Every structure is written in structure tokens, then in C-alpha cells.
Chains A and B, each alone.
Chain A
Amino acid sequence: MSDTVDFLIIGGGPAGLAAATLADELGLSTLVLDEQSEPGGQIYRGIETVHPKTLSLLGEDYGQGAEIAQAFRKSGAAYKPDASVWRVDEDGMVAYSHNGKGATAKGRRLLIATGAMERPVPIPGWTLPGVMTAGGAQVLLKSAGVVPSGRVVVAGCGPLALLVTQQLVTAGVNVAALLETTRIGDYFSAARHLPKALRARNYLSKGMKMRRSIRAAGVAIHSGVEKLAAIGDNRVQSVSFQSGGSQSEIPVDSLLLHFGVAPNTQITRQVGCDHEWYEAQRYWRPIRNEWGATNCDAIAVAGDGGGIDGAVAAALTGRLAALDAAHRHGVIDSVERDRRATPIRAELGIHSAIRPLLDALFTPPRDICAPKDNETIVCRCEEVSVSDLREAITLGAMGPNQLKSFTRCGMGPCQGRMCGLTVAELIAEANGEPVENVGYYRIRPPIKPVTLGELASMSD
């Protein structure tokens, strides 16, 4: 037997929580499924349990998550944590694992709010122990108060790289260097996006301030970094890079990488939503209308899973989707829906204004998207290298799916999350065609591994 609700939400980050809170207020029966153990999603991870000493390191933006989580807890929306969704059907049926048991739930309307993941960073040596994503290091800090010991280098681009560096420095971590692939010149060219909004100006000055305080704490900042590589035998021992024409190598105990985030499209792809290529940040996103609705009749997308716009915008798009759900269920008419949407859209407009700036400033570099070095691993699960893929492309594997058959790239447990973007870029580069023509893996269920026993014992 499966629970049927008016509004089923996958994902308990800001988008899902805000959507649930509003939907409940509007009288829809609402259920949130999330694979984590507490609300908050990636950004507000550990928000309800964070150690007070850690909280003070994380800054005020993180603290805002508590409000969203509290409002959600106070609402009547049902919440099922530790529920890992592995299959979604177009009619709003969702199959998930919970405490080792398979279960289903059905939403008359389904909201996919599964957020984003950090862009995979195929540099030489990125599979070595000691190399981690900067976001991963932040999760460790937020949820466990655990930080890298010894010498740490943070490399990449994007607001999170700066933020994590600063948080680690504040926590007393020995960050030897911040290696930015962004060039100083990029900051100037980004500046032409400035007049768009005052908030953008604040944002940029906040970033500049962060850079200054990081530098003041003794962290060397290198800009315009290229040819990053992690070096070591059974663990990372140093990081090498080029900057300003000269080659350097820094000994490290931990290398934290970050090159921005990309929507996690596993579920939207599996269920059959149409996607489009977003050239500015080089990722795919589901095609949505102004309420987040997709081409699948029962399904909407909110938050970063629909395109990267940050936590505040995520909550706003969650609310829009909730209004639309209430309208579709006949709870409010279109006039009421639109009336309530107006202030939300106004706020959203302000937040989106900084997008062009961030996109211009933090474009993922070419050699991260399509790695040059032949030995570099692209598929971490099946250990498929750039040269394996190049050979299959020359044999005529013209798309990601054929390439997968030829090389096993993308066939491991992560289901292509770590290699999907890279594979498309490599094919596009080899064949001289745009990535959007190359396409993506056909994502099949289960999007999270599920045991045969769980599956076998499921009821209708």
C-alpha cells in the first residue's frame, strides 16, 4: 500500500521545506521524503544539531536555515527522513528505501527538489585519498565538526571555494594556499554586469572582503591557475599547477577541490523530463515554466535541481511550485495564485540579478570540463580514463550511451553522476560539435542502489 498525498516532495532542502510549509498552510496534504536524517538539505546540513562552537564558524547565512527548518517543523506537513528515492514514475509514484525496506508513495502532484551536486573535477590524481570536494569538507565541518589536519590547499573557482576556505581558516585549519582558476581580469570583465543590481554590488564586495581576510590570515592566493594536478602514491602528497607562466608544486595533506555546482538531474532524467544545456555554467537543467512545471504532467522542479540559483532563490521557487500545486488542486484560483506569487517573484528577480555576474566570474575552465591528460580517470567507479574514452570515440562511439557500452564508463554504482558531464564534453570536443547535440546518459532506475530483497518484498 502506498501513501497518496496531494503534494509529494522529494528533497528536504530549502526548496522542499519552503514548498511543504506553504502547501500545508494552503491545506494540501503534504509529504517530504529525504535521504538525510534531518531537514536542511546540503546547505543547511546539520542545522538542527550543529555544535554551538561550530555554528559560530559558519557565518550568518547558515544560521538563516534554522528559520526555514523551524517553520517546516511547526507546519503539519509530514516528513520522512532517511528515505532514499530510487525510482520515480511519470504519474507521481515514487519508490524509496527506508530503514532497509522498500516502499512507495504517490503524489497527485510531485515536486522534485533534489538540489545540486558539486561539479566533478577530473584532474590528474583526483581519486587519491586526501583529495576531497570542498563541499564535502564543509559537510564534515557542519555535521561533525571534523576538519582536515595538516597542510590544506583549496583549489578551483566559485563562491563556495572562498567560503569554505574562510570557514576552515576561522576554525584554525592550516590552509597553505587558495588556487583560483579565475583570473584577476575576470573580476574586471565581470564588473560590467554590476549596474544590474545593487545587491550584486554587495555580493561582490562581500567576496572581495572574504578574499582579503583569507589573505590576511596568511593564505597565499594564486589566481589564473591552470594545469592542476594531485600528486602522490597511495595518498595525495602535493599539488602542482601553473600560474603566471611558472610551474609550482606545494606539499599538502589535503587537497580540496571546487568548481561550482550543477543540478542533480538523476531523477528528472530518469522520469523523463526534458533538459536543456546551460552554456554559461556548462550543465544540464530540466526545462521548466515559471511555476517550475516540467513536460511531465504531474511533476514540477524547484531549487537548484532546476538550475543553480542559491538557497534563497530555492526557497522562493519552492513556494511558487506550492502555489501552483494548490491551484491545480482547485484550492486557490489563478488570480489568487498570481497575487500571492507577485512578491515572491519580485524577490526572486533581485536574487537572480547576480547570476550573470557569478556566471561570468566563475566559468568552469575548459580543461576541467574536458580533461586533456590521457591518464586522468573520468569514471571513478569503473576507473575509465580519458584515453580509454578517446579510443572508443575514434571507434565510432558517437554518444554517451554508446560510449558507456564500449567502455563501461558510467556503469558503476554512482550511475554516471561523476562522469556524465565530462563524457559529453569529451565527445563534443572530439567531434567538434556543441554539447547539447551530444546529449547525456539515459538514466535508468534505480537511481540509488536498492537490494533485491527490498525490491522483491515490495507490495503493490
Chain B
Amino acid sequence: MFRRLHEPDGQSVSIDFEGEIINVAAGETVAAAVLAAGAEHSRTTPVTGATRLPFCMMGACFDCLMEIDGIPNRQACMVRVENGMKVRRQEGKRRLEA
């Protein structure tokens, strides 16, 4: 659904998105990286399980919630990618860590 205008050049980092290693541009947000990777959805809602993707990209709508480095419900449009970051979809309500 989205594509990059130019491939991440010199300063690319790699993140793990749902078990797949993808190359993304340093400094961009997790939401941008996940969209550019062609994700069909980034979360399902806790109420009806509907699929969603980031909507506003500016921290207002909370539709970009994802599990980032083990921490659930983070706003992917407000978090920058870091090398080795683990990103997963937020499926419904979050769980507590053991």
C-alpha cells in the first residue's frame, strides 16, 4: 500500500517485524517503516478485533499502537526505529508480562 521514493541509503538499520528482518531508513518512525514494508494492518482493536493501520501519523489517533521491544501499546508513529528493534502487531488488548 506504500512505497519508498528512494531506498534507505548509507544510514539504514534493520528491524525485526513479526519475525522478518527488514531494512529501514535510520531516523524514521516505526509506523513509517511498517507501512513502507507493506503491512496490511498494524493492530487489531480490543473491542471488535477490526484491523487498523496508522491514521494520523501525528500522535493523535492512537491507531498505530504496536508492541515495540516487548512493550505493548506504543504509538508507532512517535517511536523512531533503532537497529535490532523488535516490532510486532498489537493484537487486541495487551497482556501483562510474566
Q: Do chains A and B touch in the complex (CB under 8 A)?
A: yes
Write the residues of chain A forming the contact surface with B, with a CB cutoff of 8 angstroms. 35-37, 42, 49, 51, 53-54, 84, 117-118, 127, 129-133, 135-137, 139-141, 143-150, 171-172, 234-235, 253-254, 264, 380-383, 412-414, 417-418, 448-449
Contact B53 A117 (CB under 8 A): no
What residues of A have a CB within 8 angstroms of the CB of B35 in the complex? 140, 146
| A51/B6 contact (C-beta < 8 A), A132-B57, A140-B35, A235-B40 known | yes
Contact B1 A135 (CB under 8 A): no
Residue of A nearest to B26 (CB): A49
Contact B2 A127 (CB under 8 A): no
Interface size on B, residues (CB 8 A): 38
Contact A146 B40 (CB under 8 A): no
Give the distance to chain B from A221, nearest Cβ to Cβ, in Å.
24
Contact A143 B32 (CB under 8 A): yes
Write the residues of chain B forming the contact surface with A, with a CB cutoff of 8 angstroms. 1-6, 25, 27-29, 32-33, 35-36, 40-41, 45, 47-48, 50-63, 65, 73, 77-78, 80
Contact B57 A133 (CB under 8 A): yes
Contact A146 B53 (CB under 8 A): no
Question: In the bound complex, how far is the Cα of B40 from the Cα of A130, in angstroms?
Answer: 8
Q: Which of A139, A140, A413, A414 contacts B2 (CB 8 A)?
A: A140
What residues of B have a CB within 8 angstroms of the CB of A37 in the complex? 27, 80
Contact A145 B45 (CB under 8 A): no
Contact A132 B78 (CB under 8 A): no
Give the distance to chain A from B41, nearest Cβ to Cβ, in Å.
5
Contact A136 B55 (CB under 8 A): yes
Residue of B nearest to A38 (CB): B27
What residues of A have a CB within 8 angstroms of the CB of B1 in the complex? 129-130, 148-150, 235, 253-254
Question: In the bound complex, how far is the Cα of B59 from the Cα of A413, in angstroms?
Answer: 11
Give the distance to chain A from B26, nearest Cβ to Cβ, in Å.
10
Question: In the bound complex, how far is the Cα of B78 from the Cα of A324, in angstroms?
Answer: 33
